Chains A and B, each alone.
Chain A
Amino acid sequence: MEKSQPAAQIIKAGLWNENPLLRHTLGICSTLAVTNLMVNTLVMNIGLLFTLAMSCCTVSLLRHVTPDRIRMMAQTLIISSYVIVFDIIIKAYLPEVSEALGPYVGLIITNCIIMGRCEAFARSNPPLPALLDGLATGIGFSLVLFAIAFIRELAGFGSLFGCRIMPASFTPWTIMIMAPGAFFTLALLVWLVRTFAGDNGTTQLQGPKT
């Protein structure tokens, strides 16, 4: 059980082979909600990355002492603690962004990617690989979110990170900043990636299945 994989393989899995959004289609809720502005996406990504890496590491550290029966309760508790810590920190130091993200920071708790990685990897691997897996998966998620936010903000507002990019004559595509715009963008992206990567959507999950 304790046979850890090489770091390169863990990173590649998180970024590409097992990218949570493109391959497993997990964590869609936050993808739809926060990707209409690059700034909001950045904060959501940092939040998810922090929570994911710390939770994976903590779950891994406690893997020998956690009773199997109640491990999910413990995981939820660990994940929510980190999310609340992050929420408090941005409330204190980035109040405007905190307001823009509203309830979505709290909803990181319910992001299935986090519990998915804790269950699939951190629970049965040592802390360092678990931390690496959390970081790699989080970055894989972040990159896709940035790609979607890039398209949505550019088309929907004509700007990037709030700076106007498109000429003044550009008519914003309002649909892109509303939820349907995220559906279209994400679906197209998943379709493109899966088509060009020659993937038919049957990638195997790593780690033990429960």
Chain B
Amino acid sequence: MNKIGYSVFFMFAITLLCTTLVSVIHVVTRERIDLNQHAKLEIVVLRALAVRIPENSSLAEIDALFRQRVARREISGRTVYIIDQADGKTPQGYAFSVSGPGFWGPVFAMVAVDASLSTVTGIEFYLHRETPGLGARINEKEFQRQFAGLSLNMPVAGGKYFTLTPAAPGKPPSDLDAITGATMTSEAVEKFVNREIATFRALLLESSLTTVPKQ
């Protein structure tokens, strides 16, 4: 009985010791971790909205830039980031996060559109589990750059704004280059990005955001 009592005491003591150590480290670093996660999303939004982030900016500077240029609004439970023109009154564009199933797991992208909702101005694929070197190349600049200038006025065949097909000369502007060797990822991206842009566009058109300038 005594043996069991000692074992329980020992386990209790060592658990207390270990959890104290972990808790102390957690408390000490919590603020920094929050800031990191915060800044990561802010960087994605700023990049999608084509706001230039000065090189070697600290996390606090990025946060300040974000607060200065970007406003956050909720429409039907989804977050929309609004960027104003230099005068600070009329909106210049909107950014929103879209997601859908990729080949290995969910893929998240931040899509930016202009104030008239007629053109995509940028896209940032910021979270995915696609194959390195293949599907993971969706977050390369060359791939993402193609989306800038994509027209949203008239969906092409099948209700899509864009299609991803193998690179070829003389393709229409809505026909973007897919990633060679990543057919599944390209198909998945084409599907959910098209669908989600349509959904968000409808939400934005319904909302008061697009007509009423933010105060």
List A contacts of B32 (CB < 8 A).
92-93
Pick the residue among B6, B11, B26, B29 that contacts A73 (CB under 8 A). B11
Decide if B10 touches A88 in the complex (CB within 8 Å).
Answer: no
Stretch at the interface among A43-51, A77-85, A128-136: A77-85
- Residue pairs across A and B with CB atoms within 8 Å: the count is 65
A 63-104 contacts with B by CB, 8 A: 65-67, 69-70, 73-74, 77-78, 80-81, 84-85, 88-89, 91-93, 95, 102
Q: Is the CB of B3 within 8 A of A67?
A: yes
**A107, chain B: closest CB distance, angstroms:** 15
Which residues in B have their C-beta under 8 angstroms from that of A65? 10
Whether A78 touches B18, Cβ cut-off 8 Å, given contacts A88-B26, A88-B33, A172-B133, is yes
Give A28 to B145 CA distance when docked, in angstroms. 39
Knowing A67-B6, A74-B11, A174-B181 are in contact, say whether A92-B132 is a contact too (CB < 8 A): no
CB pair B10–A74 under 8 Å, yes or no, is: yes
B121 to chain A, nearest CB (A): 26
CB-CB nearest in chain B for A102: B129
A91 contacts B3, CB within 8 Å?
no
Does any Cβ of B come within 8 Å of A124's Cβ? no
Q: Smallest distance from the beta carbon of B179 to chain A beta carbons, Å? A: 12
Main secondary structure of the interface of B (DSSP, over half): helix
The reply to whether the CB of B14 lies closer than 8 angstroms to some CB of chain A is yes
In the complex, whether A177 has a CB less than 8 A from a CB of chain B is yes
Task: Please report which residues of chain B, range 26-52, place their CB below 8 angstroms from some CB of chain A when the two chains form the complex.
Answer: 26, 29, 32-33, 36-37, 40
Chain A positions 139-160 with a Cβ under 8 Å from a chain B Cβ: 156-157
On chain B, the number of residues with a Cβ less than 8 Å from chain A's Cβ atoms is 25
Interface string of A167-203 (1 = CB under 8 A from B): 0000010100110000000000000000000000000
Q: Is the interface of A mostly helix, strand, loop or mixed?
A: helix
Rounded to whole angstroms, the CA-CA distance of A91 and B29 in the bound complex is: 9
Please report which residues of chain B, range 161-205, place their CB below 8 angstroms from some CB of chain A when the two chains form the complex: 181
A69 to B7, CA, bound (A): 8
Q: How far is the CB of A86 from chain B (nearest CB, A)?
A: 9
Alpha-carbon distance A196/B129, docked complex (angstroms): 39
- CB < 8 Å neighbour of B33 from A66, A67, A92: A92
- Is B21 part of the contact surface with A, judged by Cβ < 8 Å? yes
Asked if A36 is an interface residue, CB under 8 A from chain B, the answer is: yes
Contact present for B3 and A177 (CB under 8 Å): no
In the bound complex, CA of A70 to CA of B10 (Å): 9
In the assembled complex, B131 has its CB within 8 A of some CB on chain A: yes
The verdict on B86 contacting chain A, using a C-beta distance below 8 Å, is no
10 shortest interchain CB distances as A-B pairs: A81-B18, A92-B29, A95-B36, A92-B32, A67-B7, A177-B132, A92-B33, A177-B133, A70-B7, A85-B25
Which residues of A come within 8 Å of B, CB atoms? Answer: 36-37, 62, 65-67, 69-70, 73-74, 77-78, 80-81, 84-85, 88-89, 91-93, 95, 102, 156-157, 172, 174, 177-178
Q: 24 A-B Cβ contacts within 8 A?
A: A36-B132, A62-B14, A67-B6, A70-B10, A70-B11, A77-B14, A81-B21, A84-B22, A85-B21, A85-B22, A88-B22, A89-B29, A91-B36, A92-B29, A93-B32, A95-B33, A95-B36, A95-B37, A95-B40, A102-B129, A157-B133, A172-B133, A177-B131, A177-B132
